[in-house]
Amino acid sequence: MSAQDGPPAEPEPGGESMTVEIGGTSRRLPAEHDYTGDGRPDAAVEAPDGTVVVYSDSEDNETGAAEPDGRADEAWVVDKSTGRAVGEAHVERGTGEWVDEPSGPPDGRSGPPDGPSAPGGGSR
């Protein structure tokens, strides 16, 4: 893709934020970068264990309509050392609870044989 011109309808950069509701608690997180590639800013939270959770808002959490409502409805757990997603979850419509996706992305499985790059120990 050639992106010579700016994005057509980008919401003002820098001033975005997203609400993440976990277990009845709401957190407001800055959403400044598009990690998922859909053109909308996502929020990211770094965890002490070296993973980053990326939150994405792509639909209305209550109706499921494809309109962002400012509340996160998808999340990916990314291993910082590899840059790969190691987990995925989404908000269950109706209950508003986070549900783990049972299986990873289908194309993440049979890739090129680049072995796990974990030289020298680790915490597991």
Task: Please report, as ranges, the residues that interact with Ca ion according to CB under 5 A.
Answer: 34, 36, 38, 40, 42, 56-57, 61, 69, 71, 73
Q: Which is nearer to Ca ion, 38 or 46 (CB)?
A: 38
CB of 47 closer than 8 Å to CB of 74: no
| Cα(62)–Cα(69) distance, integer angstroms | 9
Q: CB of 119: closest distance to Ca ion in angstroms?
A: 32
Q: Which is nearer to Ca ion, 70 or 108 (CB)?
A: 70
Q: CB of 42: closest distance to Ca ion in angstroms?
A: 4
Q: Which is nearer to Ca ion, 10 or 118 (CB)?
A: 10
Q: CB of 35: closest distance to Ca ion in angstroms?
A: 6
Q: CB of 53: closest distance to Ca ion in angstroms?
A: 14
Q: Which is nearer to Ca ion, 15 or 118 (CB)?
A: 15
